[in-house]
Chain A
Amino acid sequence: MSETLLRIDGLGIRYSGADAAALEAVSFELAQGERLAVVGESGSGKSTLALALAGLLPRHTWIEGTIAWPALGHPPVAGRDLGMVFQDPGNSLNPVLRIGEQVAEVAQRHLGFGWPQAYARAEHLLGQVRLPDPARLLRAFPHQLSGGQRQRVAIAAAMAATPALLIADEATSALDTIVQRDILLLLDQLVRERGTTLIFVTHDIALAAQFADRIAVFHRGRLMEIGEAGTVTTMPASPYTATLLASHISLVTPPLIDGAPT
């Protein structure tokens, strides 16, 4: 039975100057090694939750409730206990530093490696995220890579110190469907191999259902329901979840057009 990594109780968050709360009365637990998908539309508070867990909320943000980390025993240190991948790889990667340096720095700082050892680890990680020719890529700059490749680098950097928790905040939303699927398969494999806990923020409930153990559905700052992925998608407890499910366009959804043009 894995330990509880994260326990959130009555969490409420309001940004300074905002009329409405970004999050309200949110409570749930997350077990170690679990993969949780946080699903919601714009304004649901899902990104706020990710930022709160990563300690990235702006100063003067009003917070109530508690965020406890029982298995860690202390709030997570960014880089060592917690890795984060953002929607826009430009937010995670520094455009003027070479890729090798950025990935190696995480190992150097949080694992106490010397630079040669850190670079060796970086090269290994770039191979693990299935980037071609890792040795050459160490010296490349972010702008020389495609969007999907940059996200792989961001994942490598986030995983460099083998954190207990990886948060992916809409990490595939800016990528095309094929790359999106590849990245998710990669994430799935990486976290399974290392027993890393994964919080995967997305607006696409069908995507969540493919890769998550549990799904948490957010709407306007409130947690509408949380449960096993299979259950939430087949027998949703909340009408809002049912709306989200109905909005998915699959390959069997009836088309909006009929046959030939008018």
Chain B
Amino acid sequence: MLGLAVLLILIAMALLAPALFPRDPLAIAGRPLLAPFTDPSLPLGTDRLGRNVLAQLVHGARASLAVGVAAALVAILLGMLVGTLAGFAGGIVDEALMRVVDAFQIVPGFLLALAFVSVVGPSLPIVILAIALGAWTGPARLARAEVLSIRERDYVAAFRVLGMHPLEIAIREVLPNALPPVLALSSVIVAGAVLTEAALSFLGLGDPNIVTWGSMIAEGRNVLRSAAYLSVVPGLALVVTVLGIYLFSEGLSDAISGRRVRA
């Protein structure tokens, strides 16, 4: 429940950002390095250039959540497709695809994203793709494992008997049934994607035209001793977001398993 509340607040923040703070969050709003809670019109103070911290925080929520969710979606789709095809086809196709998965899995996800963005250049779609490249192997393995078991079920045999093409069986009938365990993993993937995005922005590899929490933390790095709040506030936002995602997914899986009817 708590997780749901947190997430709803975040989503509201992200969606309402243009309404709450119509001006460009990167525009100068007041005098620089104003501490939080001193000026009612600037509740969280200003940064080194005098920009509104709260405005940046709220706009940053959009970027972080959008990138996190988008990257997770790409990772899941790609992973499910590869995992299902590998598990269903078996034999040499399975071997080949699993070696590709191995290759991607050997490199730590963050470093892979880092390398990709450095080479191709920082823009929003590239950042999303980069994060997905580091995260798709988990869903791929999970989907493949599930498909290996589904493959033996009578209904798959029934489809073969009906004369359905194997590709249609794999994608239309088997893949959706392999989804549940991957969905359970999805919240972890989103949380990881949010953090990876923040780290990329922190290192200056995010899209320079938008505000993200990572870029805010990077900005605050230089005045960490005198104006710690500049880094701490977006950092806290990250922590709350990730916690919220975890709590929400725990609550969701509890609710789903609680509804399971007795035999």
Q: Could you tell me which A residues sit within 8 Å of B by CB distance?
A: 15-17, 58
Contacts and interface: CB of A to CB of B under 8 A. Distances in A.
Interface in B242-263: 261-262
Contacts of B262: 15-16, 58
Contacts of A17: 261
A114 B39 CA distance: 77
A16 B258 CA distance: 12
Contacts of A15: 262
4 contacts: A15-B262, A16-B262, A17-B261, A58-B262
Nearest to B263: A47
A17 B261 CA distance: 8
A20 to B, nearest CB: 13
Contacts of A58: 262
A44 to B, nearest CB: 15
Nearest to B261: A17
Interface of B: 261-262
A147 to B, nearest CB: 18
Contacts of B261: 17
A58 B260 CA distance: 12
B213 to A, nearest CB: 43
A74 to B, nearest CB: 27
A15 B260 CA distance: 12
Contacts of A16: 262
B260 to A, nearest CB: 10
A174 B192 CA distance: 47
A196 B262 CA distance: 30
B184 to A, nearest CB: 23
A58 B263 CA distance: 10
A192 B94 CA distance: 56
A76 to B, nearest CB: 22
A17 B259 CA distance: 9
Nearest to A57: B262
Nearest to A60: B262
A16 B259 CA distance: 11
A15 B263 CA distance: 10
A26 B41 CA distance: 73
B84 to A, nearest CB: 28
B157 to A, nearest CB: 20
A242 to B, nearest CB: 30
In the A-B complex, the 4 residue pairs with the smallest Cβ-Cβ separation, listed nearest first, are: A58-B262, A15-B262, A17-B261, A16-B262
A25 B261 CA distance: 24
A77 to B, nearest CB: 24
B205 to A, nearest CB: 48
B236 to A, nearest CB: 40
A15 B261 CA distance: 9
Nearest to A22: B262
B149 to A, nearest CB: 15
A17 B260 CA distance: 10
A15 B262 CA distance: 8
B134 to A, nearest CB: 35
A16 B262 CA distance: 9
A58 B261 CA distance: 11
A119 to B, nearest CB: 34
A58 B258 CA distance: 13
A17 B262 CA distance: 9
B108 to A, nearest CB: 34
A214 B261 CA distance: 33
B70 to A, nearest CB: 38
B259 to A, nearest CB: 9
A123 to B, nearest CB: 34
A90 to B, nearest CB: 14
A58 B262 CA distance: 8
A38 to B, nearest CB: 17
Nearest to A17: B261
